[in-house]
């Protein structure tokens, strides 16, 4: 349809993060707020329960019933909207059909996935269709990997404005964060661990920082991923591996590739968690690194994975309560250095827990920006990253309506 009735359809609105997103949209864009959107999912009863829970402001909220594997139902859904926001994960299990239908019908799409294997598979399978139909597909629009990707975008823009050159080296450091995992996130992690256990050859693919770059892309830089305790000389503090670096780094490097290597053919990027100074900082880094390796080992073992899933980890649909989400936050620092040796730092923060409270707000604004800010003339059909399809208009949305900050400070 050339003029569909909805700007956005939230698919998976009854999932844990989908419910948070639905409430955010209702509170931010009441019925008179000018945003035409609908909630979609596979269960009519759960959708009605969600609608009731949102109160009077959602009294007229349209509901669409569609199963993640029902291609005909998803096609009818896509015909009614400009953009689909999908919160249905693990995407490797439930995401294929919707991406296929969006690619074929020319419907714009964004999601929260942090599944590199799945993103790579979707790009390979449907990029041709998106270019023909005009559909813009944007993966990784939640905490994985929007703050990293847009943080680098913001830093590079500041570097060019201040110094007339981009940073050839950028490091992202998680300075502080508070949050918890939901059952949906755990299900995704366990699905990835199961795939690795069944096919160890996938480990090599996941260790490739250029896994999401277009075929034939050439880069001369050997990327350094922080996989153990290290000392960051510039900060003067110890650092440990960041659990989401394996997702965020490939997304940032795909942005560099899609943009045509503006940051130079030797651009280097990595992420880590700051644990502090001295002996205590080193011990914390070692503990964090060791725990990560033990958890990965346990989840790749079938018996241990089953025990964890049954007795220790939250189930799908479960997650941190509202009070915990409101107390959550994150502070990310981006350290950039140009070829000439000039330095720049950028700080990105969020006012809710990273994975849910903040993620729901940022993907909501991504969907709205895709529907309203980014025209087909500006960006054609294809698989984009946040930093290659969005611009300063999204950053302003995130600042004004999503509780995020982007701040720069030259260190020269």
Question: Are 239 and 271 members of one domain?
Answer: yes
In a domain, 41, yes or no: yes
Residue 172 is part of a domain; what is its CATH number?
3.30.360
Q: Is the pLDDT of residue 65 over 90?
A: yes
In a domain, 369, yes or no: yes
Question: Are 102 and 12 members of one domain?
Answer: yes
Q: What is the pLDDT of residue 213?
A: 95
In a domain, 412, yes or no: no
- Per-residue model confidence as pLDDT tens digits over 133-160: 999 999 999 999 999 999 999 999 999 9
Q: What is the pLDDT of residue 181?
A: 60
| pTM, rounded to two decimals | 0.93
Q: Which residues contact 309 (CB under 8 A, 6 or more apart)?
A: 186, 190
Question: Are 133 and 85 members of one domain?
Answer: yes
In a domain, 151, yes or no: yes
Q: What is the mean pLDDT of residues 217-223?
A: 84
Q: Cα dihedral sign for 28, 31, 33, 36?
A: positive
Overall domain count for the chain: 2
- Per-residue model confidence as pLDDT tens digits over 318-334: 677 888 888 999 999 99
Contact 182, 176 (CB under 8 A): no
Question: Are 117 and 163 members of one domain?
Answer: no
| Token pair of 278 as six digits | 């001295």
Question: Are 274 and 324 members of one domain?
Answer: yes
Q: Which domain holds residue 249?
A: 146-355
In a domain, 315, yes or no: yes
Q: What is the pLDDT of residue 186?
A: 65
Question: Are 180 and 273 members of one domain?
Answer: yes
Question: Are 303 and 383 members of one domain?
Answer: no
Residue 384 is part of a domain; what is its CATH number?
3.40.50.720
End-to-end CA distance of the chain: 53
Final residue belonging to a domain, choices 318, 337, 355? 355
In a domain, 128, yes or no: yes
Phi, psi for residue 370 in degrees, rounded to 5: -65, -35
In a domain, 408, yes or no: no
């Amino acid at each position: 349809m050339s003029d569909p009735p909805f700007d956005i359809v939230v698919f998976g609105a009854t999932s844990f993060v989908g419910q948070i997103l639905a409430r955010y949209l209702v509170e931010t864009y009441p019925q008179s707020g000018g945003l035409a959107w609908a909630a979609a999912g596979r269960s009519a009863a759960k959708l009605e329960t969600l609608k009731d829970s949102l109160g009077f402001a959602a009294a007229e909220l349209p509901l669409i019933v569609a199963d993640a594997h029902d291609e005909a139902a998803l096609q009818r859904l896509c015909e009614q909207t400009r953009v689909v926001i999908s919160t249905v994960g693990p995407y490797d299990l439930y995401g294929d059909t919707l991406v296929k239908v969006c690619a074929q019908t020319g419907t714009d799409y964004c999601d929260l996935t942090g599944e590199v294997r799945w993103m790579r598979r979707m790009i390979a399978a449907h990029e041709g269709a998106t270019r023909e139909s005009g559909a813009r597909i944007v993966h990784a629009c939640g905490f994985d990997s929007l703050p990293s990707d847009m943080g680098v975008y913001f830093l590079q823009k500041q570097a060019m404005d201040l110094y007339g050159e981009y940073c050839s080296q950028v490091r992202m450091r998680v300075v502080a964060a508070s949050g918890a995992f939901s059952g949906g996130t755990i299900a995704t992690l366990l699905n990835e661990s199961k795939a690795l256990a069944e096919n160890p050859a996938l480990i090599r693919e996941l260790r490739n920082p250029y896994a999401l770059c277009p075929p034939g892309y050439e880069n001369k830089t050997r990327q350094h991923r922080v996989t153990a305790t290290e000392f960051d000389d510039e900060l003067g503090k110890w650092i440990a591996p960041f659990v989401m670096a394996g997702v965020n780094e490939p997304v940032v490097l795909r942005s560099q590739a899609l943009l045509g290597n503006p940051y130079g053919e030797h651009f280097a990027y990595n992420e880590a968690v700051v644990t502090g100074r001295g002996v205590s900082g080193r011990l914390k880094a070692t503990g964090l690194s060791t725990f990560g390796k033990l958890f990965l080992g346990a989840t790749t073992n079938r018996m241990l994975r089953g025990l964890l899933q049954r007795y220790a980890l939250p189930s799908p649909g479960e997650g941190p309560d509202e009070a915990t989400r409101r107390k959550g936050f994150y502070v990310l620092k981006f350290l950039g250095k140009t070829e000439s040796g000039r330095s720049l730092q950028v700080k990105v923060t969020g006012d809710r827990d990273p994975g849910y409270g903040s993620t729901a707000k940022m993907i909501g604004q991504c969907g709205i920006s895709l529907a309203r800010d980014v025209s087909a003339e500006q960006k054609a059909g294809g698989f984009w990253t946040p930093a290659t399809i969005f611009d300063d208009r999204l950053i302003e949305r995130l600042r004004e309506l999503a509780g995020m900050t982007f701040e720069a400070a030259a260190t020269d």
